[in-house]
A and B are shown apart, each in its own frame.
Chain A
């Protein structure tokens, strides 16, 4: 027969082709090692599917620690700057490919989770609207706080999202790159969920403005978000070291400012103002926060701080970065305290003792999860006091 086959004949199902193929196949498989990436060191007992599909997909030379390739770049930037280089960060690692998402999410698992969240969001919104829940919402809370300040907080999430673009370009590991893209996507998802809530409210409450101009004005010109806007801009556009971007955003700013605003302000207070809608969205953001925390603490604590060769140096650098970003974050929180003057006070909920307790929870969590593991000393009581001085 001719070896040129046309008309879409398939070797698997066409009996003539299949017979010829089968005759050429060896009686026994030629290789007994069937595990892909068998040569690698798994994080757990066995190489899992995430490690098979992600690890060593990056073609970096061995002079970027962890890489398996050799030699130079085949094309460089104008002027000769290398494609990827150790100089892109002050951190040092003996293996840039070591990081793992603790949830072992490769792309399919990541989108599967988010797709479920989307389907459930859609069902929830339908039930919420049909049930008429919106009637119970305090009008000041709804129009001022959600319309204006929640909207403004969306810009913080959007700015942080954009800080991941250069990390995705520059970072030195495959699992690092994939994780960074995913935690970046979660941030834009947060910004979009905030807008989604506002659009939803506009559908239910005639006259509620869904447009972004009022919150944007608050974000860019108002005093409540002044400090946070400045930190976000600095992380996004003034920081070139990709590790510093991740560290400042996810190890300092978001666990303090982001956590206070999301969990202790919007989520905790909303139910007191008859708002059961906002917690639905914030809870998703909190899920993303906890997944991100797993990722970035793996990067900075499990990998970099514990690096046998460079751990001590890396920890020193992390302390320096914490010294740099912590005061800015404190200023952001202090500015944010101005918001309490805008809402009707509820005793034991939004008065000073309650705010102090909320701040203590956030700072205690941060100390426990982020500062202690790298031996970073911070006087959290003093920090809380500084923040509280922002109360009007």
Chain B
């Protein structure tokens, strides 16, 4: 149209219609796909064996400003509740002590996952070629910053208002001492950022988010509520509202590579590895946090697991991807077995290593033992009687000179660490499926507890070289390790971690540990 004619048309249009006009987010978004351009070196910095399609679309058509509006509305609600009514009713001091301790770990470890997801989705923003797909990942980058801050806020709130700030107030400094940390880094940190970009997306979105977010972020709120904690649901459910977009990102990633020949070759293997990687840690750790880290129980972990992981994810979610050639992971059946006993096995070890934590653990009470036996027949004969023995030997009492770790040594039950998952296991005393496999490579011994991890290591040992805590601490005395890792309260002598949450129980100090003279050894050296 000629310029003068256009001006006249604008003037005429205004003469007829003076209704206020604005521009909606979607009216801008519909041009997004054309924002990029071709040039010779336009390629990703993170290689992938798959090819993501150039025309991949996203479902949630957000632009930067609309994203901000949506999130800030949610923030107002969430921080309003926390700062107003929950503070007035002193809610942080009405949480069961056992759960107060669990939140030290849950919120901080989830924070690590959120934090690494920032970098992971940054990588995917880089490797996607379609601007809409990039945009979906960009939204997730910002969300994961939000979630990092939110998880931090939970610990911040509990530290400021609650009954035991230690561990909430310094989790980021002291979390690296204990046996749960390295395994958490595998699933929540390195698994999201180190590898083929699509493989990372499968770990993060297709498995981490689509599969374990439900038990991790949703089920945890039910356990929290039962145990008096209303802060966690307020924050975590707000996190969860962003997750739908993240799962859609994962779904779109699979769609974007579905037509690529590499997908039919590698996708199911990558998915199987990612599923095993994630479940190997989350299945025992979540089950342990819920059941052993609470007073009031919601339902046996095995039921939650079957509902969310086996039926919802393995059946429905993966089923929806069937048309793109995605199959249910071959390792799902082995994982299902883990969901029954693995968390009981792990708690036995976690409790035995309690001085290396940044939280207080408690032995199951008589009431709890009854609940375990009713839901997991055979529990008492394997675990309950051991806890009775430990209690009788005074494991909760700083004057006893007894650490449950000694029981493992006395009974010749060495504790190993699985090289690939970094999860500890005791092959000679467990009900789960762990079996000891030892391989030697470049003059170094490696232990494994299952065939799936062993296979991953056999095909790419250079990806799993990380030393474990026993190799790191070998020859060092326990109190020294604790002091170096800042495992002490502000009085400079009492441990943050404790083997009980009894309100009148005595607290262990660094001297109590030192007297025992517990020196770490590397079980692989004895083989």
Contacts A132-B14, A203-B21 given; indicate if A83 touches B189 (C-beta within 8 A). yes
* B:143-161 near A, CB below 8 Å: 145-146, 148-149, 152-153, 155-156, 159-160
**Most B CB atoms within 10 A — which of A54, A111, A139, A185?**
A111
Report if A104 contacts B (CB, 8 A): no
User: How far apart sit A19 and B229, CA to CA, in the bound complex (Å)?
Assistant: 14
Q: Are A24 and B503 in contact (CB under 8 A)?
A: yes
Contacts A181-B145, A207-B1 given; indicate if A59 touches B185 (C-beta within 8 A). yes
Report if A382 contacts B (CB, 8 A): no
User: How far apart sit A71 and B472, CA to CA, in the bound complex (Å)?
Assistant: 8
* A:8-59 near B, CB below 8 Å: 8-12, 17-18, 20-22, 24-27, 29-39, 52-59
- Name the B residues within 8 Å of A112 (CB-CB): 68, 72, 75
Q: Are A5 and B165 in contact (CB under 8 A)?
A: no
Q: Which 8 A-B pairs have the closest CB atoms?
A: A168-B122, A11-B228, A126-B20, A114-B68, A207-B1, A118-B65, A80-B462, A165-B126
Give the nearest-CB partner of A24 in chain B. B97
Known contacts A3-B368, A11-B95, A135-B7; can you find 8 more A-B pairs with CB under 8 A? Answer: A11-B94, A17-B228, A24-B96, A26-B97, A59-B189, A83-B190, A83-B194, A237-B45
**Chain B interfacial residues counted at CB < 8 A:** 131
- Name the B residues within 8 Å of A56 (CB-CB): 172-173
Report if A360 contacts B (CB, 8 A): no
Give the nearest-CB partner of A129 in chain B. B21
Q: Are A77 and B125 in contact (CB under 8 A)?
A: no
User: How far apart sit A113 and B169, CA to CA, in the bound complex (Å)?
Assistant: 29
- Name the B residues within 8 Å of A84 (CB-CB): 119, 193
- Contact indicator per residue, chain B 2-28, by CB within 8 Å of chain A (1) or not (0): 011111011101100011111100011
User: How far apart sit A370 and B173, CA to CA, in the bound complex (Å)?
Assistant: 35
Q: Are A30 and B166 in contact (CB under 8 A)?
A: yes
Q: Are A69 and B176 in contact (CB under 8 A)?
A: yes
* B:128-144 near A, CB below 8 Å: 134-135, 138, 141-142
- Name the B residues within 8 Å of A71 (CB-CB): 182, 466-467, 472
User: How far apart sit A38 and B169, CA to CA, in the bound complex (Å)?
Assistant: 7
Q: Are B13 and A204 in contact (CB under 8 A)?
A: yes
Q: Are B118 and A5 in contact (CB under 8 A)?
A: no
Give the nearest-CB partner of A60 in chain B. B189
Q: Are A4 and B299 in contact (CB under 8 A)?
A: yes
- Name the A residues within 8 Å of B38 (CB-CB): 220
User: How far apart sit A58 and B149, CA to CA, in the bound complex (Å)?
Assistant: 12
- Name the B residues within 8 Å of A346 (CB-CB): none
Q: Are A155 and B35 in contact (CB under 8 A)?
A: yes
User: How far apart sit A181 and B42, CA to CA, in the bound complex (Å)?
Assistant: 21
Report if A247 contacts B (CB, 8 A): no
**Most A CB atoms within 10 A — which of B134, B153, B225?**
B225
User: How far apart sit A69 and B472, CA to CA, in the bound complex (Å)?
Assistant: 12
- Contact indicator per residue, chain A 195-230, by CB within 8 Å of chain B (1) or not (0): 110011001111110111100100110000000010
- Name the B residues within 8 Å of A119 (CB-CB): 69
User: How far apart sit A26 and B298, CA to CA, in the bound complex (Å)?
Assistant: 24
Q: Are A162 and B134 in contact (CB under 8 A)?
A: yes
**Pick from A10, A80, A165, A196: contact of B226, CB under 8 Å:** A10
Contacts A77-B195, A168-B141 given; indicate if A39 touches B173 (C-beta within 8 A). yes
**Pick from A57, A115, A168, A210: contact of B148, CB under 8 Å:** A57
